[in-house]
Structure 1
Amino acid sequence: MNPFERAGLAPVINAAGKLSSLGGTAQAREVADAQAAAAMAHVDLADLRRAAGERIARVTGAEAACVTSGAASGIAIAVAAVLTGTDLGRVRRVPNLDGARDILLQRGHDVDFGAEVTQMIRLGGGRPVVFGSLERVTEADLAAALSPDTAAIVYVQSHHCVQEGRLALSTLLDRGVPVLVDAAAESDLRVWIDAGADVVTYSGGKAIGGPTCGFVAGNQTLIEACEAQQRGIARAMKVGKEQIMGLLAALDRAVVEGHADEVLEGLRAGLAACADVTVVPDGAGRPIRRVALQLPPARLRALVQFLHDGDPSIRTRNHELDKGRVQFDPRELRPEHVPIIVGRVRQFFFEHAC
């Protein structure tokens, strides 16, 4: 059944992965049920936020945590927290702040995930300072960028980033300023806190399998300052009781990609007759495997458009099209999607034979 038919929309088969542009994740029944139950009841939101923060802190191993409307808002809120603390006067002036407000960012981390990281920094009142080159960032580059105006360093863990030649998180620590990590799509909820990050921001609607929301976790002082932003910019990024309860249900549920291996093998076997097919690891080092299909770039773009325009619309992972490779991500697929995808790819080759 297509739940979006009432809005006049065709169904979508998501072979691209857990992308915000496709609604994040298809939630487990218990996650959806938790949201539905919350929608029909009342609660003191401050109490719920406090309880949720305590629960998230236990899961992540952080001193404290608070819910956000997503990982992107978490960046803005964390930057604002660094610059304002819990001073309500400064909270209300964000983003128009004085004082030290330079936020350092490696050039290979200056990415656009649908919006630019630097814009999230500016929303929080920071002034982005990008250092190093795309090919290489050195400790000398970092030392030259640090100044009395430096307020924090942002580290982005994402497949969007340049993966080689960047400074490791450990190199950024102990520089006299907080280090904020954007780990939006990561599944390991402890590794960055354990590594020494002051604040980490996560998406609730990606690897965690929850609704569209998120959280920041980190040291007590900065998280209290993050929560203080509810009287400022975070008011425009507020999270409802439904999303909070869905997030908690997702955290309580073991993250199990139950059908991923079955789907992966079905796609690999089914597509192997059409083109050069391989199983590839995630470029950012996450424990994810995908099926990659190799074709000349022009022909590949035609295939991607053909899949996109059909009914149902099949969405693929397209960031390597210029290299002649498209990926099929199994995490949001069910076994019954495999013959549909394979059939459509074969149809393309039949109708567009060389």
Structure 2
Amino acid sequence: MITYEDIGVTPVINASGMMTRLGGASLSPAVASAMAHAGAAYVDMDVLKQRAGAMIAKWAGAESAWVTCGAGAGIAIMTAACVAGTDPRRIERLPNADWQPREIVVQSGHLINFGAPIAQMIRLGGGEPRPVGWANATPAELFAASLDDHVAAVLFVQSHHCVQKGMLPLADVIRLAHGRGIPVLVDAAAETDLRSYIEAGADLVTYSGGKAFGGPTSGIICGKESLVAACRAQEQGIARAMKVGKETIMGLLTALSTYVARSPTELLAPLTRVAEELLAGLKELPYTRAYIERDEAGRPIVRLVMQLDEVRLGFTAAALVDWLARTTPPVMVRTHRVNLGIIAFDPRPLRPPDVPVVIRLVREAYASLRSGGAQS
């Protein structure tokens, strides 16, 4: 076996979250075993994907489902399904769609970059993004007026990256779009609820399998049977470059089977314990407010937040982030509000032995930075 150390890669303590740049989720022994077992056999991939889709659809409360390599791919494939359908001539021409309808309406506050631009994922599927509204507001009247004959679908992005204030909620988006016979696609990449968007009436939803659900790097598309069939048809086109292997499919099914068997309370309780342990170890740091905060996008996630008084401390939150990233072992924290002097610690990827190490290294960072020294 070749290890990370063998090739000069240093494992890090991940207190940032289920981040693609840090490898997504860490795999449980059950998931890793399922992947190893699957990798030792040959199967008919079409049959495997159909059976896996049927299982996922049942868990999601959807008519149908399909597995792909990630939620970013899911956006491109969902777009392609709405732009090209199952027409092999159009599928072959993507992403160069020269027909209508091909426009994908997106609220301006949802046109984020999640590591790559949402707009680029739409274009990969042959769609043309049509932003509606502004970064801080989308009036319902303006949204409704944008739903013309050139629109193939509406994309709703559910993400902590998105602007929350002033955006039309999903229920209004579905009502207005369905009133014009236009399907609604949901990007729920890092979301935790496998059923709510289908229950709300979304036509297609894509999730990351390798984030909240604890699976390997993968993606799920679930929704209406006719549209999922169009997603499957894209494997003769752009989705061929987004295929997923047998090992990944079986690892994802194993992770999902465990995930759906647990209640929201069971999922939240261990996170709360880790956040409270972090708070107990860091709350006495000077000129720093430490507190536990619920997820800004409404997911059942808690995090330990530290708000630094940078002037009185004599160093910035960005300097603390840099110190922690360059120590041994490196500690990666959540930096979405670092420009405001705020960092956060996500308990989901932390293993029990990691917590005292994080507390110790943060304390060492404060001592070093306040004295003007460098990290060890």
TM value normalised by structure 1: 0.97
- 1:6 deviation in Å? 1.4
Q: Are 2:277 and 1:266 aligned? A: yes
- Structure-1 residue corresponding to 2:94: 94
Q: Are 2:292 and 1:279 aligned? A: yes
- 1:10 deviation in Å? 1.4
Task: Find the aligned partners of 1:117 and 1:272 in 2 and give their Cα distance.
Answer: 38
- Structure-2 residue corresponding to 1:248: 253
Q: Deviations over 1:125-181 (max 9, x none)?
A: 000000101111111221232221111000000000001110011212223210000
Given that residues 35 and 247 in structure 2 are in contact (C-alpha distance below 8 angstroms), is that contact kept between their aligned partners in structure 1? yes
Q: Which runs of 5+ in 2 are unaligned?
A: 372-376
- 1:67 deviation in Å? 0.4
Q: Deviations over 1:204-253 (max 9, x none)?
A: 00011000001100001000000000100000001000100001001111
- Structure-1 residue corresponding to 2:66: 66
Given that residues 259 and 335 in structure 1 are in contact (C-alpha distance below 8 angstroms), is that contact kept between their aligned partners in structure 2? no
Given that residues 153 and 179 in structure 1 are in contact (C-alpha distance below 8 angstroms), is that contact kept between their aligned partners in structure 2? yes
Q: Could you tell me which amino acid in structure 2 is paired with residue 69 of structure 1? A: C
3-state SS of paired residue (2:328): coil
- Structure-1 residue corresponding to 2:197: 192
Deviates more, 1:256-265 or 1:71-80: 256-265
For residues 170-249 of structure 1, the aligned pairs below 5 Å read 170-173=171-174, 174=178, 175-249=180-254
Task: Find the aligned partners of 1:3 and 1:159 in 2 and give their Cα distance.
Answer: 34
Q: Could you tell me which amino acid in structure 2 is paired with residue 182 of structure 1? A: D
3-state SS of paired residue (1:302): helix
Deviates more, 1:340-349 or 1:187-196: 340-349
- Structure-2 residue corresponding to 1:336: 353
Task: Find the aligned partners of 1:32 and 1:216 in 2 and give their Cα distance.
Answer: 23
Q: Are 2:67 and 1:50 aligned? A: no
Task: Find the aligned partners of 2:24 and 2:368 in 1 and give their Cα distance.
Answer: 32
Task: Find the aligned partners of 1:195 and 1:104 in 2 and give their Cα distance.
Answer: 19
- 1:310 deviation in Å? 1.0
Task: Find the aligned partners of 1:188 and 1:125 in 2 and give their Cα distance.
Answer: 29
Given that residues 10 and 311 in structure 1 are in contact (C-alpha distance below 8 angstroms), is that contact kept between their aligned partners in structure 2? no
- Structure-1 residue corresponding to 2:168: 167
Given that residues 68 and 243 in structure 2 are in contact (C-alpha distance below 8 angstroms), is that contact kept between their aligned partners in structure 1? yes
- 1:301 deviation in Å? 0.7
Given that residues 66 and 222 in structure 2 are in contact (C-alpha distance below 8 angstroms), is that contact kept between their aligned partners in structure 1? yes
Task: Find the aligned partners of 1:305 and 1:284 in 2 and give their Cα distance.
Answer: 26
Given that residues 271 and 301 in structure 2 are in contact (C-alpha distance below 8 angstroms), is that contact kept between their aligned partners in structure 1? no
Task: Find the aligned partners of 2:11 and 2:223 in 1 and give their Cα distance.
Answer: 39
Q: Which runs of 5+ in 1 are unaligned?
A: none
- 1:265 deviation in Å? 1.3
- Structure-2 residue corresponding to 1:353: 370
Q: Could you tell me which amino acid in structure 1 is paired with residue 32 of structure 2? A: A
- 1:296 deviation in Å? 3.9
Task: Find the aligned partners of 1:179 and 1:261 in 2 and give their Cα distance.
Answer: 34
TM value normalised by structure 2: 0.91
3-state SS of paired residue (2:222): strand
Deviates more, 1:260-269 or 1:106-115: 260-269
Given that residues 53 and 65 in structure 2 are in contact (C-alpha distance below 8 angstroms), is that contact kept between their aligned partners in structure 1? yes
Given the superposition, is the C-alpha separation of residues 3 and 260 from structure 1 closer, same or farther in structure 2, using an over 3 Å criterion?
farther
Q: Deviations over 1:278-316 (max 9, x none)?
A: 101100000000000111465111110000011211000
- Structure-2 residue corresponding to 1:114: 115
- 1:18 deviation in Å? 0.6
- 1:186 deviation in Å? 0.9
Task: Find the aligned partners of 1:189 and 1:123 in 2 and give their Cα distance.
Answer: 25
Q: Are 2:333 and 1:291 aligned? A: no
Q: Are 2:329 and 1:312 aligned? A: yes
Root mean square deviation of aligned Cα: 1.3
Q: Could you tell me which amino acid in structure 2 is paired with residue 132 of structure 1? A: G
Given that residues 54 and 64 in structure 2 are in contact (C-alpha distance below 8 angstroms), is that contact kept between their aligned partners in structure 1? yes
Task: Find the aligned partners of 1:57 and 1:81 in 2 and give their Cα distance.
Answer: 18
- Structure-2 residue corresponding to 1:24: 24
- 1:123 deviation in Å? 0.2
Identity level (%) = 48
Task: Find the aligned partners of 1:111 and 1:296 in 2 and give their Cα distance.
Answer: 29
- 1:341 deviation in Å? 0.7
Task: Find the aligned partners of 2:35 and 2:156 in 1 and give their Cα distance.
Answer: 32
Given that residues 102 and 129 in structure 1 are in contact (C-alpha distance below 8 angstroms), is that contact kept between their aligned partners in structure 2? yes
Q: Could you tell me which amino acid in structure 1 is paired with residue 196 of structure 2? A: V
Given that residues 103 and 151 in structure 1 are in contact (C-alpha distance below 8 angstroms), is that contact kept between their aligned partners in structure 2? yes
Given that residues 263 and 334 in structure 1 are in contact (C-alpha distance below 8 angstroms), is that contact kept between their aligned partners in structure 2? no
Given that residues 260 and 333 in structure 1 are in contact (C-alpha distance below 8 angstroms), is that contact kept between their aligned partners in structure 2? no
Aligned residues, how many?
353
